[in-house]
A and B are shown apart, each in its own frame.
Chain A
Amino acid sequence: MKELLSIEGLSKSYKHVQAIKNLNLLISEGQAFGILGPNGSGKTTTLSIITGIIRQDSGSFSWFGEESLPGHRKSIGSLIESPHFYPYLNLEKNLRIICDIKGASYRDIPRVLEISKLKERSKSRFSTLSLGMKQRLGIAAALLADPQVLVLDEPTNGLDPEGIAEVREIVIEQVTGGKTLILASHILSEVEKICSHVAILKKGELLACGPVRELLSEEEIIEVSCRDNQLLKQKLRHSKLVREIEPGNGVLVLTLEEGVGAGDINAFAFSNNLVLSHMYSRKRSLESQFLELVKEES
């Protein structure tokens, strides 16, 4: 796949706060790329830099293999944080301004209003819209001139469930239609539902990056106990069957190595003269994995 956005050694600090630290990312055309991280992890700062709102302290980034951003702005539709438009202008006039900025035809306005389901409100003032509608207008504006890339920063932030579903539906439609998406979010399920690739940030540092399936695959967790949990723990530690052992409430919580199953653990315990009195297998949720990944690195 062709390279779309390359970020090299990007750093930015606000007074004493290091917002992002030596960030390296490579995003290819056609990817739905999620930037995942808790609040304050540097997601918005990263998107603000790559869309030219703020300047980095050091490092560089290039769109479509070129370092100049202004020339490619029309190919990039962005929505950074909450959308801000002229409150006294109606939706159509607000979009006319964006058309003028992007050099798009006013004839594109009905199309994007249709996509964002705001056609009937085209003559309403921006100030009269609900939060969900404002967010959808932001996406409509980003879609003007039919850009190749969508850069969205927490597009469902602050929305009610219905609003979240509406915005997600629009974004998924665009991704399915072939647009490259760069989506920042702190909601794991959102990234999982929309994105094919993900980068996980924490305190401005990149913790992990790769395909969503690989990075956030559901791991098997097994709870076991026997008459001597300490001995079992010692034996398992040297067995190469488990990646991690955590003490639970009278049980041992095991994260298994790839290819290892509950039966292997049972057989291993039995071969060491330990009879398991409790065995419970469960899948670890994506959310707990994400929290763990973020916790581990702190």
Chain B
Amino acid sequence: MNKKRNYIIGYLYLIPALVIFILFTYWPAIYSFYLSFFNTTTSTGHAIFVGLSNYAYLFRTGQLPYAFLTAFEYSLVRFIFAFVISIALFAWVESRGKYLLKNAIPLIIIPVLAISLVYPALSFWGGNTYMIFLWVLFGILSFYFAKNIAFLKLHMTLFLLSILGFYIVAFYIGNRMDLYTLFFDIAQNNSFVMSIWNTFYFVIIDVPLTIGISLAAGLLMKNLPFFKAFFRTAFFAPYVASIVAVSLLWLWLFNYHYGIFNFMLSWFGIPPINWLNSAALTMPTVAILSIWEYFGYYGLIFLSGLQNIDQEYYEAAEIEGANSFQRFVYITWPLLSPITFFVMVVSLINAFQVFTQVYVLYNQMPGPYANSGLTMVFYIYNTFYNEQQMGLASAAAYILLGIIMVLTLIQFRTTEKRVEYNI
């Protein structure tokens, strides 16, 4: 009885906030989910139920220069080639040549076979089912032999980089057909696919840099003996400013002919950079603005985490004679990991929703040309309000939501072991 009463009290506490969330977030979200199955722009003027075709339309491929399966095959061949060579390389590094004879079959013969077969497989044997089978076999074999390589487990990042490197090398061998190039062929005709790419590109530039710079800001704010309050306020000020006014200000700092950035570059004899009028620089430019806006805010979160670290660790380390770099690597960084993780999650969610910066920086257009600034939220906004295709926009919003959720979950899963984090 008492238990039941406690339950009711618990729910009572939730009610005010929950009602607001239900009314203004959940119900609209469900409503737009419902809309995502309708076509709202029709010649008759009435919405029509279309099932999943909005989702299908978002991922329409148009006319492909070659089949998806072919692209997959070429990608697979390249990937396994890179994988095999990388494993051989790592095994060789670990053994330093000692056990080479013992593992001669997997470590020499397979790589040699892989190298000798990669060119023919990528140019004139392409599209052959037996070749795929053979390459999968290669992969399984080398994976089987590589399981015991301790060096590989220790340096997973290095291994992944090595695969990427060999993949790129393999890319320039044989026919340039690939999932990657196919993706761009699709993106050329399908702006939603383009927007997915642009958003990921932005996130990849923005999130690591934001974390790096805000960590630096946090460390500085912690360690400076004087003027702490000044720097704290200075770093935080951009977060306070109205994004509309500030984006316009940056528009003008970035100006090719008259911008202050190019003016300052001219002091060092560097030729002006076409910040705002180059497709390749669109996302980096937006990222600079975004980093500027948020680094002070995240820096303060880092600062609070740093202040949370017990001073005794540092004192002990100092007695042991650790220098400041060592102290950072062995004390600060591990103990800060929950904060880092927190900032990572929050900045990732923010970065995926990038919109206002592009909207104002590029005069309400998706980048200077070739849709280089079309982010997912931009696509949603544009489809919703300019093209008035609410169903399609809702479907796109749900895909964005799915992507963010999946990535956040992956983050939680992969960092679970290392970060003690109670949610």
A-B complex is real: no
Residues of B within 8 A of A (CB): none
Residues of A within 8 A of B (CB): none
